[in-house]
Structure 1
Amino acid sequence: MDFTYSARTTELLGRLGAFMDAYIYPNERRYHEEVEANRWGHPPVLEELKAKAKAAGLWNLFLPDSHHGARLSNVEYAPLCEMMGRVQFSSQVFNCSAPDTGNIETLERYGTPEQKARWLPPLLAGEIRSAFAMTEPDVASSDATNIRSSIRRDGDHYVINGHKWWISGVGDARCELLIFMGKTNPDAPKHLQQSMILVPLKTPGVTVVRPMHVFGYDDAPHGHMEITFEDVRVPVENILLGEGRGFEIAQGRLGPGRIHHCMRLVGLAERCLELMCRRVKGRVAFGRPIAEQSVTLERIAESRILIDQARLLTLKAAYMMDTVGNKEAKAEIAMIKVAAPNMACRVIDWAIQAHGAAGLSQDFVLANYYAHARKIRFADGPDEVHRNQIGRIELAKYADRL
């Protein structure tokens, strides 16, 4: 495998890096101050930065096979996504943030012409946001076939009832669309019971109960909301692909979403390693710079090893997705989905230690970044599910040798 970035990626990476230096890093503090001033509002700085990103041609870079995006392969997009991941809110500046990226790809791949015409233009323009409603509090949602929410046909409408939580993005004041997963036929074969349907957030019967907290962080203004659906009626035209196709759509949607999380986490860990190195070079303890302490050197070295390992596995998974497709790359996607969040948690933890008690405080991004990285060990499937899948794939290689 050739690890040299393509000319297109190299050019975009240079422009993206320059944009980050000129506009993103200098506005980090302002972003957080605006969120603190109006937690569930829309930070004005975001719209200013989005306008600059559009003007710079750094917009919708994530779409691989679409005339709406930059038409980059997964391998080409990986280093760009990694750079965006260095600052947690920055992917939204370039309209490359979850869950919108997965929802846009879902609409592009599975939506009807009418569904695309209604929802894709404002999503691609960054005028509205969306969310993906699958996880439920009353069942083990790591097994998507467990979901209990119902989607029942009633004439020209579907009637939706259910209870969802950890629905990311609904806290954003501009969120207008939910892609909802529920059961249309509980008596069908296991993987044909579920369907997905488009639900405008302001539809009567949709109630946002509360934001869920991650280690005390409410992740405003993005949020991870608990939502109830009581006799929510939407037109039959809102069904995606047809009844019984929900699990199929979910599998198609989650592959790119999982690897995008991992790309961003590599960038996040890289940023935290940088912060750790800068901190230890400027601090003295027991008569010696902290940077000269052997435990510090070991942690810096191990962080470099872990980050580079995760980056290479991410690129391999991306390469497989590009060359043989998401289904054939399922083992590589599962492996990086386990490896990247665990790597990031380890590196961020060491960075926190290097900062002392300050690393736990609101004066640095590290505590928030740790909460985010730990959360990703559940997002799009927990570690245990992916490890089981990897183990089954590995054992299958020896089926004829037993």
Structure 2
Amino acid sequence: MTLVQENPPLLRSIGQPRLLAGLKEGRADLRHHLWTHGRQPQLSREAYSELAAAVGLRGRGGAGFPVALKLADLPAKGIEAVVVNGSESEPLSRKDRLLLTLAPHLVLDGATGLAQALQAREVLVAVHDATAAASIRAAIEERQDAVPIQVSDTPGRFVAGEARAVLSILEGGPAVPPGRRVLPTRKGYRQRPTFLSNVETFAQLAVLARLGSREFSSTGLSSEPGTQLLTVAGAVQRPGVIETPTGVPLETVLQYAGAPVTGPVLIGGYHGQWLPRPDGIKLSRPEVALGAGIVVALGPDTCPLGEVYRVAQWLASQSAGQCGPCVFGTAALVDDFGRLLYGDPAGWHDAHRHLGLVPGRGACAHPDGSVRFLASALEVFGDDVRAHLAGGCGRAVLGVLPVPGGTW
């Protein structure tokens, strides 16, 4: 297969890169991958569990669940599949599709190595980005793995990236999470035990298998060693994906990206939370809800409330349509924030009331994540809210927070 490759996105590292090593020139084919990383060692299930526990490795998607605990929850036999969740439908995130596009063999090493250790029947890669899908398919043609690998295209809707929604898609079902919250380790693909995690997690496993726990822990925090990928966006001069040691100060990341080191910052994306300022914040899980590793600087020139209102409209449009808290709750919040934007005090009161009613009642995490984003906005942008109630803040909405269909 001839892979048509676009110019590589902006990527950098603070310290020595691991996941992004050798990618400055673009996509790494198998030869370049092996030259950079060497061959993947064949490890047992016990070895993977011990390594993951020794370094406290957490999943690099939204939940940050410890990998060792996920492995321990799997039965000794009968594991159906290892699933790579590449449905990076969070509009602000670029790190997973970057790995699939530029470092596909690193991701596949982590997935196939673990699948062989677990004696899983196959590896399934779910991905919604066409360029990333083409890259991973081209990489599979270069390899000779002992375990079959299948790539499935998924829709780009926000809720379609949720783990249970991905499993539904892989089985030919709708791209929405079912109401029952059953762990994939118990009932996953084809209702059988499945190890499912996001793209970066598998790349980290591939690096960990090669380095061992001691060398892997030579950078980052002692409580969560290693590196992490962050997508930095918003009012920054150099947006893109940055690999940093865990625990790096948020101010350092902003400075590196050419962003203001004062003012509000969004952490974790549109299911994340606003911070009033970056000082004193170190980026590590679980101390900070990093979610999919997203850092967005808002900057001083745009209208914060208007930006939040645009995102609230998009979040409501992404409802799976299967429960009241999501269908009616997010729609009510859009109305509340719209009235507040135009100076209606009742919008402020109704927003607080609805924000207290929605959490914990949805069929999936979308209502809770939306409330987290909106509630923290009301808290952090209190001065802006008061300005709008008094007649307006005087700033235009510049679209610093991108929604699908726009640019970032």
Q: Same fold (TM over 0.5)?
A: no
- After TM superposition, the score normalised by the length of structure 1 is 0.28
- After TM superposition, the score normalised by the length of structure 2 is 0.27
Q: Which has the higher contact order (CA 8 A, sep 6+)?
A: 2
